[in-house]
C-alpha cells in the first residue's frame, strides 16, 4: 500500500507543467493538479500524456504488486488487497507527498485502478463518461456520471458476487462525489466551466 500510495503521489500535472511549460497548473484554471485542469490550461498536447500517466499510476501497482503477495488469485484476500491498493493510489493522487499534499481529484487514477480490478465495469464507465462529456461538455458531470455507473455496472450489469468488490465500488463512487462537492455546487448554480472534448475551456453559456 505504501508503494501504491507513492505511485499515486507522482504529481504528473505539476511536473509536466513545470518541466515543459514553466508553469504550475495549480496556479491557473481551477487550480487543480489533474488531467482536466491540464487540458484546460495547457491544451491536449499536455493533457493527454498527463491523463495517460495518471491512469497508469492506478493501474500498474494494482496489477503488479499482488503478484508478490502470496494471495491466491481472485480469492477474498486477493480482491481485498487489490481494492486497498486502488484506494492507496487514489489517496496518493489526492494528497501527493511529492507536491505538498495538493493533488487532483483522482478520476484518472481511479480509472486505472478500476481497469485493473474490474475491466468490464471500467469500460462501461468510459462509455458513459464520453457520452456525457460530448453532450454536456462538463467534465465534472461526466466524471460523476461515470462514478455512479461503476457500482451500478458491478451489481446489475456484471452481477458481481464478491462483497469486497461491491463495497469498493460504492466507496469509490462516494469518494468521487466527495472530491467533486464544489463542482456539484457550481453545476447546480450554473457556474461550472465547460471543456470541449480534446480542447480548452469554453465560455459558460
Q: What percent of the chain has pLDDT over 70?
A: 96
Contact indicator for 179, 173 with CB cutoff of 8 Å: no
SS3 of 7-27: the string is HHCCCHHHHHHHHHHCCCHHH
- How sure is the predictor about 29, in pLDDT bands with cuts at 50, 70 and 90? confident
pLDDT tens-digit series, residues 44-72: 999 999 999 999 999 999 999 999 999 99
Residue 38 has pLDDT above 80, yes or no: yes
Separation of alpha carbons 42 and 51, rounded Å: 13
Show me where the domains of the chain are located: 2-202
Task: Spell out the residues 6+ positions from residue 50 whose beta carbon is closer than 8 angstroms to its own.
Answer: 12, 13, 16, 34, 35, 38
Predicted confidence at residue 195, as pLDDT, reads: 84
Task: Spell out the residues 6+ positions from residue 48 whose beta carbon is closer than 8 angstroms to its own.
Answer: none
Amino acid at each position: 500500500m505504501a508503494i501504491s500510495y507513492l505511485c499515486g503521489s507522482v504529481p504528473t500535472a505539476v511536473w509536466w507543467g513545470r518541466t515543459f511549460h514553466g508553469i504550475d497548473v495549480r496556479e491557473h484554471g481551477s487550480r487543480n493538479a489533474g488531467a482536466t485542469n491540464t487540458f484546460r490550461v495547457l491544451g491536449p498536447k499536455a493533457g493527454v500524456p498527463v491523463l495517460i500517466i495518471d491512469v497508469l499510476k492506478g493501474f500498474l501497482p494494482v496489477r503488479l504488486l499482488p503478484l508478490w503477495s502470496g494471495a491466491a488469485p481472485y480469492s477474498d484476500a486477493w480482491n481485498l488487497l487489490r481494492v486497498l491498493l486502488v484506494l492507496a493510489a487514489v489517496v496518493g493522487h489526492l494528497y501527493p507527498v511529492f507536491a505538498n499534499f495538493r493533488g487532483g481529484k483522482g478520476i484518472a487514477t481511479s480509472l486505472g485502478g478500476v481497469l485493473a480490478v474490474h475491466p468490464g465495469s471500467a469500460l462501461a464507465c468510459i462509455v458513459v463518461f464520453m457520452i456525457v462529456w460530448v453532450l454536456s461538455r462538463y467534465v465534472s458531470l461526466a466524471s460523476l456520471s461515470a462514478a455512479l455507473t461503476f457500482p451500478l455496472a458491478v451489481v446489475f450489469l456484471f452481477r458481481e458476487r464478491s462483497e469486497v468488490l461491491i463495497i469498493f465500488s460504492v466507496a469509490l463512487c462516494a469518494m468521487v462525489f466527495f472530491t467533486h462537492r464544489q463542482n456539484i455546487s457550481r453545476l447546480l448554480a450554473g457556474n461550472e466551466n465547460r471543456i470541449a472534448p480534446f480542447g480548452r475551456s469554453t465560455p459558460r453559456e
